[in-house]
Amino acid sequence: MSQSPLRIGLLGLGTVGTGTARVLAENADSLTRRAGRPLAIVAAAVRDLDAERDCDTSGMRLERDAVAVATAADVDVVVELMGGTGAAREAVLAALEAGKPVVTANKALIAEHGPEIFEQARAHEQPVAFEAAVAGGIPIIKAVREGLAGNQITEINGLINGTSNFILSKMASEGLDFAPVLAEAQQLGYAEADPTYDVEGIDAAHKLAILAMLAFELPLALDRIRTRGVGQVEAEDLEAAAELGYRIKHLAVARRSERGVELCVEPTLLPEQSYLAKIDGVMNGVIVAGSAVGSAGFYGPGAGALATASAVVADLIDVARGRVLPEPGPGKTLPFVDPHTVVSGHYLRVQVLDEPGVLQTLTGLLADAQVSIESLVQKELGTPAGWAQIVMLTHEVSLGTIDQVLVRLRDLPCVQGEPVHFRVSARED
Ligand code: NAP
Ligand code: HSE
């Protein structure tokens, strides 16, 4: 007996939307078996009705009005792949109000409007699934919510922005400049519509807020995440870090201790032999530490049409089978750790006058601040004549102390420009 299809209203036919349409078409038979019924896109919302699409649109009604698609009588489930938090929010809320389950890849929407969306979902008893919102094709949401549900999760360390990892890897391995590598990431469909979300670390912060919410049963805490992006990393830093035995990666950290929850996304020096340091290109990696499992690592493509579609389609199967977990509640109240009190090693690079006594001035300044230097090298790094680059690694000291050191370094007459600073992670896994 043939089953009636689950009728999909797709909002967006860009990179992920066309990838989703292609996966649904190419794997139709096995997906029908896994979902228990065919999965069929009946309507899609786009801005440009005449644009060429990288998928077969012959069976779909194309419309400009996303809310109309989201609430259409012939749509059973809404898949939001438009991006942004304006029209997408409006359409998702409308879909839930109309009693339709929602699948979305939109981390900005969940991180910024999660409480409102989850409340609407609860009110109308509809699921919201968002596996594709974090780490692209890696099923990390399912892993954290279900596979590791027996644990108290204590820490998550990850590379969760594919564009940032692609940029840093290519700059480091091929000596390319930032701008052309970002352009390539955009051309490959990895970057956000507004790539400053990737470059400034905002996209990774959105994802970390979602992971921390699920792992620690916290409210979404975007505003508590210390956020820096790969736009602050220069070729000189990648080269200097490599010579010291490190890789610079855009690291997201969520850690829970007796002091509270620490959240940060920032370029960080990782020992070159560590698991995350070896992950290159658009690949993402996430290590979850749990009370029972110890450490579990996840690796896979963090962005791209088909990789992300893989997660979207998995959510669709869960919707078809009625097995999406209920929406997260309001969350526990936990204290947040002030990032300035967190202790780690630090990397400092300063451009200084190449004159006698300058090194003594620098080391004296650090000694006054009780900062112990682990290593110090003077480097050329393309510096103009008469100037030198001094690269230092410190022993463990608080970020607050390093911030004070940076202010004092900036004021020294022998220092030119802004001192560069990144944290150093001691993690070997
Ligand atoms: P995209 O290529 O820019 O596609 C966006 C699609 O939405 C386009 O088809 C666009 O129509 C349509 N659209 C945008 N605003 C609309 C509106 N107001 N009304 C109707 N249609 C509208 O974006 P994407 O890369 O696929 O990303 C989509 C979502 O997935 C975002 O939330 C993103 O963060 C997330 N995501 C992306 C990736 C990735 O690798 N790209 C990975 C994971 C998650 P036109 O084509 O006519 O302009
Ligand atoms: N722009 C995002 C990234 C897409 O590069 O990771 C996947 O979420």
Q: Is 215 in the pocket of ligand 2 (CB under 6 A)?
A: no
Q: Write down the pLDDT at residue 326.
A: 87
Task: Tell me if residue 373 falls in helix, strand or coil.
Answer: strand
**Domain 6-133, CATH 3.40.50.720 — does that match?**
yes
Q: Ligand 1, closest atom to CA 189? A: 41
Whether the CB-CB separation of 115 and 219 falls below 8 Å is answered with: yes
Distance 122 CA to ligand 1 centre (A): 26
**Domain 140-301, CATH 3.30.360.10 — does that match?**
yes
Encoded tokens for 264: 């940060």
Mean pLDDT of 157-178: 97
Nearest ligand, measured from the Cα of 305: 1
Half-sphere CA count of 346, side-chain side, radius 13 A: 22
Q: Is 47 in the pocket of ligand 1 (CB under 6 A)?
A: yes
Q: Is 51 in the pocket of ligand 1 (CB under 6 A)?
A: yes
- pLDDT category at 2 given cuts 50, 70, 90 is low
pLDDT of 380 higher than 80: no
The DSSP result for 392-413, as a single string, is EEE-SEEHHHHHHHHHHHHH-T
Q: Give phi and psi for 130, each to the nearest 5.
A: -145, 40
pLDDT of 425 higher than 70: yes
Residue in 47, 110, 197 to alter for ligand 1 test, most ligand atoms within 8 A of Cβ: 47
pLDDT of 409 higher than 80: yes
Q: What digits encode the pLDDT tens for the residues 18-39?
A: 999 999 999 999 999 999 999 9
Same CATH fold assignment for domains 6-133 and 340-424 = no
Q: What is the average pLDDT score of the chain?
A: 96
> Residues 274-302, buried b or exposed e (16+ Cβ, 10 A)?
bbbbebbbbbbbbbbbbeeeeebebbbbb
pLDDT of 1 higher than 70: no
User: What is the residue extent of each domain of the chain?
Assistant: 6-133, 140-301, 340-424
Mean pLDDT of 392-414: 97
If phi over 0 gives left and psi between -120 and 50 gives alpha, with beta otherwise, what is residue 235?
alpha
Which protein residue has the closest C-alpha to ligand 1 atom 44?
A: 105
Q: What digits encode the pLDDT tens for the residues 328-355?
A: 887 888 999 999 999 999 999 999 999 9
Mean pLDDT of 387-392: 94
Mean pLDDT of 121-132: 97
For the chain, give the percent of residues with pLDDT over 90. Answer: 94
Q: Write down the pLDDT at residue 329.
A: 81
pLDDT of 203 higher than 80: yes
**What's the pTM value of the predicted model, to 2 decimals?**
0.97
Residue length, the chain? 429
Q: Write down the pLDDT at residue 172.
A: 97
Catalytic residue annotation: 207
Half-sphere CA count of 199, side-chain side, radius 13 A: 15
pLDDT of 384 higher than 90: no
Q: What digits encode the pLDDT tens for the residues 62-116?
A: 999 999 999 999 999 999 999 999 999 999 999 999 999 999 999 999 999 999 9
Which protein residue has the closest C-alpha to ligand 2 atom 7?
A: 303
Other beta carbons within 10 Å of 86? 10
Q: In what order do the strands lie in the sheet with 61-63?
A: 61-63, 39-45, 6-11, 77-80, 102-104, 128-129
Residue in 197, 203, 211 to alter for ligand 2 test, most ligand atoms within 8 A of Cβ: 203
Task: Quote the strand ranges of 325-424, DSSP E.
Answer: 343-353, 373-379, 387-394, 397-398, 415-424
Q: Give the CATH architecture of domain 340-424.
A: 2-Layer Sandwich (3.30)
Nearest ligand, measured from the Cα of 158: 2
Task: Tell me if residue 14 falls in helix, strand or coil.
Answer: coil
pLDDT of 386 higher than 90: no
Element holding 157 (H helix, E strand): strand 153-159
Other beta carbons within 10 Å of 101? 25
Q: What digits encode the pLDDT tens for the residues 277-331?
A: 999 999 999 999 999 999 999 999 999 999 999 999 999 999 999 999 988 887 8
Q: Is 191 in the pocket of ligand 2 (CB under 6 A)?
A: yes
